[in-house]
C-alpha cells in the first residue's frame, strides 16, 4: 500500500512540474494578458501536491521539505537574476515563477503536517 501512495504522490509532483513548465511558457508566448488564472491553477495544484505527498514518514517529509525549500530559494534568486539576461532569461524566469507559485503551498502544507505529526508523538 505504501508504494502505491508514493507512486501517486510522485505522479502528482511530476504532473505539477510539467503543468508549471507548460503554463509558464504559454504565459510568456500565448497569453500575454490576464494570466491570474494560471497562478490560481498552480496554487491549487500545489495544495493537492502538499496533501498527497507525505503521509506519516518523517524521512519522506524531511526529504520533501529540503528539496522544496531549496527549490523555492533557488527559484526566487534565479528569477531575480535571470531577468537581466534577456528574452531567454525572461522565459526561464516565468517558468521559475510558476514553480514558485506551485511549490510554496505544497511546502507550507507539508511543514504544517510534519509539525502536527511531531507534536502528536510527544
Average pLDDT on 37-48 reads 85
Residue 110: count of CB within 10 angstroms of its CB:
21
Cell triple for 121: 508523538
Assign 50 to helix, strand or coil: helix
pLDDT for res 36: 78
64 in Cβ contact with 49 (< 8 Å)? no
| Mean pLDDT estimate for the chain | 79
Amino acid at each position: 500500500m505504501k508504494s502505491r501512495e508514493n507512486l501517486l504522490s510522485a505522479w502528482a509532483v511530476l504532473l505539477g512540474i510539467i503543468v508549471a513548465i507548460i503554463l509558464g511558457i504559454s504565459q510568456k508566448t500565448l497569453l500575454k494578458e490576464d494570466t491570474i488564472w494560471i497562478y490560481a491553477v498552480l496554487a491549487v495544484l500545489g495544495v493537492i501536491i502538499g496533501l498527497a505527498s507525505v503521509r506519516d514518514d518523517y524521512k519522506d517529509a524531511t526529504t520533501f521539505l529540503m528539496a522544496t525549500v531549496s527549490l523555492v530559494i533557488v527559484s526566487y534568486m534565479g528569477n531575480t537574476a535571470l531577468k537581466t539576461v534577456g528574452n531567454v532569461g525572461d522565459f526561464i524566469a516565468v517558468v521559475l515563477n510558476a514553480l514558485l507559485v506551485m511549490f510554496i503551498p505544497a511546502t507550507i502544507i507539508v511543514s504544517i503536517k510534519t509539525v502536527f505529526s511531531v507534536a502528536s508523538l510527544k
